[in-house]
Amino acid sequence: MVSTGNKSRPAQSGRKSKFITCPECGGRKIARIPRSGESVCANCGLVISERRIDTGPEWRAFTADERTARTRTGGPVKYTHHDKGLATTLGWRNTDSSGRKLSSRRRAEIARLRKWQLRSRVHSSVDRNLSQALSELERLSSQLELKRGVKELAAMLYRKAIVNRLIRSRSIDALVAAAVYAACRIRQIPRSLKEIADPSHIDWKKVGRHYRLLVRKLKIKMPIPDPSNYVPKLITELGLPGIMQEKVLEVLDRAKAHGGLIIGRDPRGLAAGAIYIASILTDNRVTQREIASAAGVTEVTVRNRYKDLVRKLELSLP
C-alpha cells in the first residue's frame, strides 16, 4: 500500500478515510485530522474544506470527562446522558482522580458544575432546553466558523439567560443566535446581526431584540465597537495588499486620538472611510462603491467619513 517513502501515515491516527476523492489529484485517500475536523488528501496534502455534512457528533471533547459528559446516545430528546455524565463525573471531594488536591480555581469550577448538576436535575425541562440550545449553538457556530472561545462565551451567556429566567416563552434558536451575536460583540469579532441571523433561519430583527434583552437583563458591558476590527476583514474582502492595513489603522488611530470623530458613528463607515483614504495614499485605488458594498454601508457614508477624516486630520491627498 505504501509505495513511496515520503507518505504520511494518516491511518495511524485512528481515523478512517472518507470515501471521497481529492478534487486536486483524484486520490482516494482522505485523512481526517481529528482535532481540527479538517480533511486532508493523503496523497497531495490538499486540505478539503468544503462544507460537508458532518455525520459525527456535533461536539468535540478534549478530556475524558468532557467526552462522557457530552455524550448523548440516542439523540437529545430520547435519552440525555447529560445528567448521568455529570453525576458520575463529579464526586464531592476536592481532589482529582489520583487523590491530589485541586487548585482553588479548579475547585471553584467544580463547585459551579455541581451547582449546575443540581439545577439541571431539578429542572429537567431546563436541562432539555439547554442541550437543545447547545446543539443549535454548535450548528450555528460551525456554520459561522467561530473561534472556540466565542462559542464558549455564547454558551455561558445562554446559561446565564436560563438562570435569569429569560428563556421562558422565547425561541431557543433566536436566543442562541442572540447569545452568539453578543459573544462576538464582546470579543470584538466583526459579525453583523444579519450574518449571524442568516444561517439560523431567524429573522434578523428578532435576533436583535433578543440581543438587547440579553444585554439589558444580564447587565453585559459591551465594549465600544472599534472600527479597526473591521479592517482586516475588509482588506481581504477587497483583495487589497495586506501592507495597506497599517496605513488604515494609522488613520483610524489618529482619528481616535482626535476624539469626536468616532463616537456615535457606524464603525463600519469609519473603517470604510479610512480604507478609502489609505487606498488613495498607497495608490491602490478602490472605488467608493466597492468599499461601501464590502463594508455594508452606503457610498454616501463612505464619502462622509472620508471627508470628515480628511478635514479633521488635515490630510493632504494627491
Q: Applying CB under 7 A, which residues contact DNA?
A: 264-266, 269, 285, 287-289, 296-301, 303-304, 306-307
| Smaller CB separation from DNA, 10 or 227 | 227
Distance CA 111, CA 246 (A): 46
Could you give the 3-state DSSP secondary structure of residue 40? Answer: strand
Q: How far is the CB of 293 from DNA (least distance, A)?
A: 10
How many other C-beta atoms can be found within 10 angstroms of the C-beta atom of residue 192? 14
| Smaller CB separation from DNA, 139 or 303 | 303
| Smaller CB separation from DNA, 137 or 262 | 262
The number of residues in the chain equals: 318
Q: How far is the CB of 212 from DNA (least distance, A)?
A: 8
Q: How far is the CB of 58 from DNA (least distance, A)?
A: 32
Tell me which residue has cell 452606503: 298
Q: Nearest-CA neighbor of 180 among 217, 229, 231, 214?
A: 214
Determine phi and psi for 226, rounding to 5 degrees: -105, 120
| Smaller CB separation from DNA, 134 or 297 | 297
CB of 235 closer than 8 Å to CB of 195: no
| Smaller CB separation from DNA, 96 or 203 | 203
Q: How far is the CB of 260 from DNA (least distance, A)?
A: 9
Q: How far is the CB of 154 from DNA (least distance, A)?
A: 20
Q: How far is the CB of 227 from DNA (least distance, A)?
A: 10
Q: What are the start-end ranges of the E strands in 28-70? A: 30-32, 39-41, 47-48
On the CB side of 64, how many CA atoms lie within 13 Å of its CA? 4
| Smaller CB separation from DNA, 254 or 303 | 303
| Smaller CB separation from DNA, 241 or 264 | 264
The stretches of the chain forming alpha helices (DSSP H) are: 64-70, 82-89, 104-122, 124-144, 148-163, 172-186, 193-197, 204-217, 231-237, 244-258, 267-281, 288-295, 299-313
| Smaller CB separation from DNA, 163 or 315 | 315
Residues 228, 234, 236, 240: is their CA dihedral positive or negative? negative
Q: How far is the CB of 159 from DNA (least distance, A)?
A: 26
Could you give the 3-state DSSP secondary structure of residue 243? Answer: coil
C-alpha cell at 286: 478602490
What's the chain's Rg over C-alpha atoms? Answer: 24
Q: How far is the CB of 180 from DNA (least distance, A)?
A: 18
| Smaller CB separation from DNA, 56 or 264 | 264
Q: How far is the CB of 173 from DNA (least distance, A)?
A: 21
CB of 299 closer than 8 Å to CB of 272: no
For the sheet with 47-48, list strands across it. 30-32, 39-41, 47-48
